[in-house]
Amino acid sequence: MLQKELSWWQKTVVYQIYPRSFRDTTGNGIGDLKGIIEKLDYLKDLGVETVWFSPFFKSPQKDHGYDVSGFQEIDPIYGSMQDFDILLESMHERSMKIVLDLVLNHTSDQHPWFIESAFSRDNPKRDWYIWADGKKPNGKKPPNNWKALPGGPAWKYDENTEQWYYFHFLPFQPDLNYRNPKVKEEMFNTIRFWLDKGVDGFRLDILHSIYEDESLRDDEFSWHLLPSNKNVASLFRKHKYDLNLPETIDFSFELREVIDEYQPERFLVGEVFGSIEEMSKYYGPQNNGLNMCFLFEFMDSKPTVKVYKRVISRIEKALPYPYIPTFVYGNHDSIRYISRLNNNPQKAKLLATMQLTLRGVPFVYYGEEIGMRNVKFDLKTSEDPIGKKYSKFPLGTIVKLLNISVSRDGCRTPMQWNSEPNAGFSSNETVEPWLPVPESYEKINVEKENKNPSSLLNCYRRLLKVRKENKILSEGLFEFMNGDADKDYLSYRKYINDDEIYIYLNFSKKELLLNCPVESPDLYFSTLSNRVALDIEAYNGKIKLTPFEGIIFK
């Protein structure tokens, strides 16, 4: 099969910014849009092509923006619409694409629609949300046994109108009712509002929970305890009637039609929980659904050759070319990936090499490029509403045993720019940022790593450069070269028609001597910044890889 030239979104690299934590120019300890504008040249120079922003829309900030009270307004904490317009223009001037985070599933309970909806049973906005009578005798029990994603019942009782409303996430985030055509129309108009401004794509927040069973049937029992991004069953519920409904999948096709009204092409990437196979449904039979879904497989898999090989093979099988898989190591909801690797930058370089050379779109979470670590916080002082929710429970031992993080604060700390007070995050050196700057900032920061050729930051920069300069890396097809018995390394080739490039990754702490597929290999990249060539003659025609070294060659 002759390969077609890919569209921009099929070969881009996305960097996620959590605006609260990137750069604060007003000195109030919270990041803002002007701060992001200030740092665009940093991103451009790093080689980032597309930026996805966690929400900066109007919001009471109870879930730091994922509780929207005005979908077409900028929250004053982050700036103004004028700042947004400048941000968009400044990004486009630099040939960078801008992706916004759309929370379609729910609003804040402070959104004017919900305030109206909760006002009375006969309010015209009543059926914009999901209201139901409680169980008899006096209606004081929830309408059914559904559980919210972070645990507990998914219903909240409203004393005023004596009915319950449904929420999939937290009680202050009531779910919108997409069976009401007016809701759909309104949200599609919001999408068009941002597209008309020139936005290039959207990340769709918890899209899998858009629709729920119309007759609100009770959920079934499951042995699954922990919620995960890979399996929707959790907390002893199957989530059969509230997640990944056929209507929700159809909805992704409708969304695609909306963005396809626009040229040049825009894209949608969905946060959808479930197996890879489940996600492929959202991509659609002709990729006429979401352009992409996040594949979270790497976030909680063991970093071993065996596991990665299995995951990559499954992805390649479920989403073959021309479908575009995504590769995600972390985001604002998960433990920073370097901390799952004992904070070892050498291993992080190896994984970055893998992430940026597989077939698909890599998503890099702010700070990953300098090796920012996950931070342990006391739940009692949690900023994150999930941490707050659980702060009253004695969870210590369970959390340790299961190696999970209940609060998401640990991965949301301020970006570490330099060794100055507050790590250069805030223009005000004496302000206390909304989350404390980790102590590691004096060692781990952009300024310091910029100067060090063998830093993680410079490794990312070199990788992004080599990816951009070699079409085969960003657009090529993928094939494993090593067999299942090889436990120490991964090797694969990327190719476009007859042209190919090789990637070898040593996952062991041993030196390895590996077969070389070409007579005189040309080294394009090594995680070792000082390696300039592959001297195969010195090793009987073999390639020598040092511990945890990754290379790209032709």
Q: What residue ranges bind ligand GLC (CB under 6 A)?
A: 63, 66, 103, 169, 205-206, 271, 332-333
Q: Give the nearer residue to ligand GLC in terms of CB position, either 129 or 169.
A: 169
Any catalytic annotation for residue 205?
A: yes
Q: In angstroms, what is the minimal distance from the CB of 244 to ligand GLC?
A: 15
For 285, half-sphere exposure in the C-beta direction (CA atoms, 13 angstrom radius) is: 1
Burial of residue 401 (CB within 10 Å: 0-12, 13-18, 19+) is: exposed
Sign of the CA dihedral running 467, 368, 59, 407:
positive
Q: Which residues pair with 157 in a beta bridge?
A: 164
CA dihedral 341, 371, 272, 300 (to 10 degrees): 10
Nearest position to ligand GLC, beta carbon: 66
How far apart are alpha carbons 325 and 534 in whole angstroms?
31
Shorter beta-carbon distance to ligand GLC: residue 59 or 353: 59
Closer to ligand GLC by Cβ: residue 79 or 270:
270
Tokens 């511990």, residue located: 547
66 or 298: whose CB is closer to ligand GLC? 66
**CB closer to ligand GLC, 364 vs 464:** 364
DSSP structure class, residue 340: G
Shortest CB 105 distance to ligand GLC, Å: 7
Nearer of residues 328 and 361 to ligand GLC, judged by Cβ: 328
CB-based contacts of 435: which residues, under 8 Å, 6+ apart?
21, 377, 383, 409, 412, 413, 414
Min CB(168)–ligand GLC separation in Å: 8
Which residue is catalytic, options 63, 175, 205, 297? Answer: 205
Residue with tokens 């949200």: 187
* Helix ranges, 47-165 (H): 81-93, 112-119
CB of 201 to ligand GLC, least distance (A): 16
Whole-number Å distance between alpha carbons of 482 and 503: 11
Tell the smallest beta-carbon distance from residue 449 to ligand GLC (Å). 28
CB 462 within 8 A of CB 525: yes
* DSSP annotation string for 171-235: TTSPBB-TTSHHHHHHHHHHHHHHHHHT--EEEETTGGGS---TT-PPPPB-S--S--SS---BT
32 is catalytic: no
Per the listing, tokens 């990559």 go with: 312
210 or 551: CB nearest ligand GLC: 210
Nearer to ligand GLC, 202 or 308 (CB): 202
Relative to beta strand 201-204, strand 542-545 is unpaired
**Active-site hit among 185, 254, 261, 429:** 261
Determine the Cα–Cα distance for residues 347 and 188; give it in Å rounded to an integer. Answer: 43
Quote the CA–CA distance of 303 and 212 in Å, as a whole number. Answer: 36
The CB-of-41 to ligand GLC minimum distance in angstroms stands at 28
**Active-site residue set:** 205, 261
